A and B are shown apart, each in its own frame.
Chain A
Amino acid sequence: MLILTCPCCGIAADETELSPGGEAHLTRHGPGSGDTDFEDYLFNRENARGVHFERWRHAHGCGKWFLAARDTVTMQVFGTYPAQTTEPPQEIRDRITKARPGWRWRDFGAAE
């Protein structure tokens, strides 16, 4: 069972109180973008075994979206942070690097 702390209201919410929103930190490529960019944006998703970044909505609570970093294998939660961020906060990355040295997820990773 997954328990995520909503950064908007501070409640430690059970997985069943949340709605999953898919992968986090997608860059939207809309009208006028190239076919490759648009295809990436629309279809190509990470299927991470390990560190992963996701969107969640506190549906049975304050109703706000937030982002979470967790390990898909061990269910370890590295942290949650506001949805109004375009990349994981340094504090979260540091925590992941400490627990998973050498981690990599899309353009983000320990080697930066």
Chain B
Amino acid sequence: MSEIIAPLNGAAFDGLLRVDALGPQGQITLRGDFAAPAFRDVVTEVAGTAFPEARRVEAAGDRALLWMSPDELMLLLPYEAATTTAADLAQRLSGEHALAVDVSDARAHFRLRGAPLRDVLAKITPADVSPAALPEGELRRTRLAQIAAAVWLTGPQEARLFCFRSVAQYAFDLLSTAAAPGSEVGYFDGR
């Protein structure tokens, strides 16, 4: 089998934030009726997490279930497990009006770490990134300058960010510019 290369292949930037382009990430898109018990049961059993409330993320170990829209979830899991898990999900959901597809190569993932996290994000997205509007454990799908992206605050000073693979370099350059040393804003300090 060919060697798996992640988008940007582990690029990193150190500035106001530490920006890391993450390695290959297994991703499964799930669509279905969130009110259907059968769908909920299968999904939570495979993910090993609770079913996320609107806009929330449920994470456990190396798996996470992300609420993407009223009928779409994304399951994050180890890259190697994605193909078989997607097939397993599709098979177990076969009687339901539901869809499970392995889209592991579709998106590029980044990890952002540092105290001025909200300040840096506020420079490049129109989303309200205040702690009240974007608490930890919530996924905000939004726009980063010219591209669509999603931000998941995993901790007070740490976030996961992902966008489509084709714009990974743009996202990395954008984040690096917004986190350039000397460009502190200080608005969210102590908030």
Contact = CB atoms under 8 A, between A and B. Distances in A.
Interface of A: 8-14, 16-17, 59-64
Contacts, number: 41
Given A9-B54, A9-B55, A60-B141, A14 B68 contact: no
Contacts of B72: 62-63
Interface in B60-80: 68-70, 72
A14 B69 contact: no
29 contacts: A8-B70, A9-B54, A9-B55, A9-B69, A9-B70, A10-B54, A10-B55, A11-B127, A11-B140, A11-B141, A12-B128, A12-B133, A13-B142, A14-B126, A14-B127, A16-B126, A16-B143, A17-B142, A17-B143, A59-B148, A61-B142, A62-B68, A62-B69, A62-B70, A62-B72, A62-B141, A63-B69, A64-B69, A64-B70
Which of B55, B133, B141 gathers most chain A CB within 10 Å? B141
A8 B69 contact: yes
Contacts of A16: 126, 143
A5 to B, nearest CB: 11
A interface SS class: loop
Which of A11, A12, A59 gathers most chain B CB within 10 Å? A11
Interface string B136-168: 000011110000100000000000000000000
B93 to A, nearest CB: 21
A62 B70 CA distance: 7
A8 B55 CA distance: 11
A88 B133 CA distance: 28
A11 B128 CA distance: 9
A8 B69 CA distance: 8
B126 A11 contact: no
A24 B130 CA distance: 33
Nearest to A60: B143
A11 B31 CA distance: 20
A12 B141 CA distance: 11
Contacts of A17: 126-127, 142-143
